[in-house]
Amino acid sequence: MVSLAANMEWLFTEAGVETAARVRAAGRHGFRDVELWGWREKDLPAVRDAAREAGVRILSVIVDPQLQLTDRGSHEAYLAAVAESVRAADVLGSPNLVVVAGQGRDGVSREDQRAAVVSVLREAAALVPDHLTLLLENLNDRVDHPGTFLTSTIEALDIIDEVGSPRLKLLLDAYHALVMGEDPVDLVGARMSSVGHVQIADVPGRHEPGTGTVDWPELLRSFVAAGYAGPFGLEYMPSGSTEQSLREIERIAAEIS
59 and 231 in contact (C-beta within 8 Å)?
yes
Residue among 35, 137, 182, 208 flagged as catalytic = 137
Q: Omega of the bond prior to 204 within 30 degrees of 0, cis? A: yes
Give the sign of the dihedral formed by CA 227, CA 121, CA 175, CA 38. positive
Distance CA 169, CA 192 (A): 10
Residue among 111, 123, 235, 243 flagged as catalytic = 235
3 and 232 in contact (C-beta within 8 Å)?
yes
Q: Catalytic residue at 155?
A: no
225 class by beta-carbon count within 10 Å (0-12 exposed, 13-18 middle, 19+ buried): exposed
Q: Catalytic residue at 35?
A: no
Q: Which residues are catalytic?
A: 137, 235
